[in-house]
């Protein structure tokens, strides 16, 4: 369906089914370590079967589910296993799973022998359009994603058949990030969701959302400038996520409503139709009852803050983005728009 490149470093292949050869052509590779989680065992088995036709030795290491995998203990255990297996400089780490797995597998690949090849097979929509794209890897230590490394996967294999089959809550979470890509850079994505609702064809919206992230990240690998636009909906969204514990994609949806309201106040952006689209997909648009003090406290501590105060990604119109400091009144306005007063 699509082949998207991030410079020379990373190749993202989007298709129906997995290709018969998973690994990039390269000399010297002898082994692969597949890191995965129990709920996607069937997919990991498929990947392993293909890898066995390419390689002498393929090892599966199953880690605890969700973010329980993103810990020092798990990383330490993986290093022990890789030492025992004698995983060398020319070998490959393959992550099969959602964003938690790809963050962990990427981090292990980035740090083992100061960096070996990583290949990702994301199995959630959020993993496919966001977590596995762009080279941010990491674990949770002393806070979420505070320890990590930038390390591009050599190849990312997105199987749309897998994404079509994921449970609705995961589909909704992915839709929030895909719609975000639409608002910051690609109106065609928004048209697809307006026309088809949550069943918007993944063959169209997934490659387009990946292309948005790939293009932004290709220009700004380490988040000095333009990469910040990917945080649309994330400033307030992260605050709500850490106070309430709701899933990331849902928090981003609510965060976009808040950012839409601030954008409306400052630039006359049509925040109403943004909210309407998210609601029509079944995404949450309010966090009524959440403590305003608690959210503001988290927002102020956000690791992406600067000396200039809280900055937000705002829309002057669709695909016209600015990243600007906001006033306390504007933050209040954004929070009020999602029922936090």
Ligand X SMILES: NC(=O)c1ccc[n+]([C@@H]2O[C@H](COP(=O)([O-])OP(=O)(O)OC[C@H]3O[C@@H](n4cnc5c(N)ncnc54)[C@H](O)[C@@H]3O)[C@@H](O)[C@H]2O)c1
Report the interface residues with ligand X, using CB under 6 A.
Answer: 37, 39-40, 65-67, 70, 97-101, 103, 123-124, 126-127, 130-131, 134, 136, 145, 162, 166-167, 170, 173, 248
Residue 159 or 330 having the CB closest to ligand X: 159
Sorted by sequence, the CB contacts under 8 Å of residue 13 that are 6+ apart come out as: 2, 3, 19, 155, 156, 157, 158
Q: How far is the CB of 153 from ligand X (least distance, A)?
A: 11
Kindly state the smallest distance separating residue 318's Cβ from ligand X, in Å: 22
Closer residue to ligand X in complex, CB, 110/200: 110
Are 244 and 298 within 8 A, CB to CB? Answer: no
From the CB of 270, what's the least distance to ligand X, in Å?
A: 27
d(CA 61, CA 48): 11
Least CB distance from residue 159 to ligand X, whole Å?
9
- What is the nearest approach in angstroms of ligand X to the Cβ of residue 195? 25
Q: Who contacts 213 (Cβ-Cβ below 8 Å, separation ≥6)?
A: 129, 130, 133, 134, 181, 230
Contacts of 317 (CB under 8 A, 6+ apart): 267, 269, 270
* Backbone phi, psi, residue 21, to 5°: -105, 120
What's the half-sphere exposure (Cβ side, CA atoms, 13 Å) at 35? 32
Cβ proximity to ligand X, 163 vs 340, nearer residue: 163
CA distances from 221 to 90, 154, 228, 238 (A): 24, 15, 11, 21
Question: In whole angstroms, what is the distance from residue 55 CA to residue 209 CA?
Answer: 32
- Which residues, at least 6 apart from 264, have a Cβ–Cβ distance to it below 8 Å? 270, 271, 272
Closer to ligand X at the Cβ: 92 or 242? 242
C-beta neighbour count of 2 within 10 angstroms = 16
- The CB-of-120 to ligand X minimum distance in angstroms stands at 10
**Structure tokens of 15?**
């298709």
Nearer to ligand X among residue 39 and residue 218 (C-beta): 39
CB of 201 to ligand X, least distance (A): 18
Residue closer to ligand X (CB basis): 183 or 269: 183
Considering the complex, state which of residue 23 and residue 170 has its C-beta at the smaller distance from ligand X.
170
Is 220 in a helix, a strand, or coil?
Answer: coil
Categorise residue 282: left if φ over 0, alpha if ψ from -120 to 50, beta otherwise.
left
Q: How far is the CB of 164 from ligand X (least distance, A)?
A: 10
Q: Which residue's CB is nearer to ligand X, number 35 or number 331?
A: 35
CB of 210 to ligand X, least distance (A): 12
Measured CA to CA, the distance from residue 234 to residue 252 in angstroms comes to 6
Cα gap 3→157, rounded to integer Å:
10
Position with the least CB separation from ligand X: 99
Nearer to ligand X, 70 or 208 (CB): 70
């Amino acid at each position: 369906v699509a082949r998207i490149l991030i410079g020379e470093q990373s190749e993202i292949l989007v298709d129906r089914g997995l290709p018969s050869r998973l690994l990039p052509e390269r000399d010297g590779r002898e082994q692969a370590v597949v890191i995965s989680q129990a709920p996607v065992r069937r997919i990991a088995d498929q990947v392993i079967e293909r890898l066995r036709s390419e390689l002498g030795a393929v090892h599966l290491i199953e880690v605890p589910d969700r973010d329980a995998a993103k810990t020092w203990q798990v990383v330490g255990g993986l290093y022990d296993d890789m030492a025992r297996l004698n995983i060398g400089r020319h070998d490959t780490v393959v992550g099969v799973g959602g964003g938690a797995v790809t963050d962990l597998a990427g981090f292990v690949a980035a740090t083992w022998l100061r960096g070996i090849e990583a290949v990702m097979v994301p199995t959630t929509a959020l993993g496919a359009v966001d977590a596995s794209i762009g080279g941010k890897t990491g674990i949770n230590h002393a806070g979420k994603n505070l320890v990590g490394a930038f390390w591009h996967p050599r190849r990312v294999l997105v199987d749309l058949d897998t994404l079509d089959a994921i449970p609705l809550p995961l589909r909704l979470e992915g839709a929030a990030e895909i719609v975000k890509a639409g608002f910051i850079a690609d109106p065609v994505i928004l048209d697809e969701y307006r026309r088809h609702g949550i069943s918007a064809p993944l063959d169209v919206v997934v490659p387009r959302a990946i292309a948005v992230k790939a293009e932004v990240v290709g220009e700004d690998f380490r988040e000095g400038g333009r990469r910040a636009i990917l945080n649309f909906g994330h400033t307030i969204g992260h605050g709500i996520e850490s106070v309430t514990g709701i899933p990331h994609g849902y928090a981003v949806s609510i965060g976009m409503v808040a950012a839409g309201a601030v954008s409306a106040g400052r630039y006359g952006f049509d925040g109403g139709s943004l909210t309407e689209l998210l609601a029509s997909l079944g995404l949450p648009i309010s966090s009524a009852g959440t403590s305003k003090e608690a959210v503001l406290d988290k927002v102020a501590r956000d690791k992406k803050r600067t000396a200039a105060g809280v900055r937000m990604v705002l829309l002057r119109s669709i695909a016209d983005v600015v990243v600007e400091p906001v006033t306390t009144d504007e933050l209040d306005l954004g929070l009020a728009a999602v029922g936090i007063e």
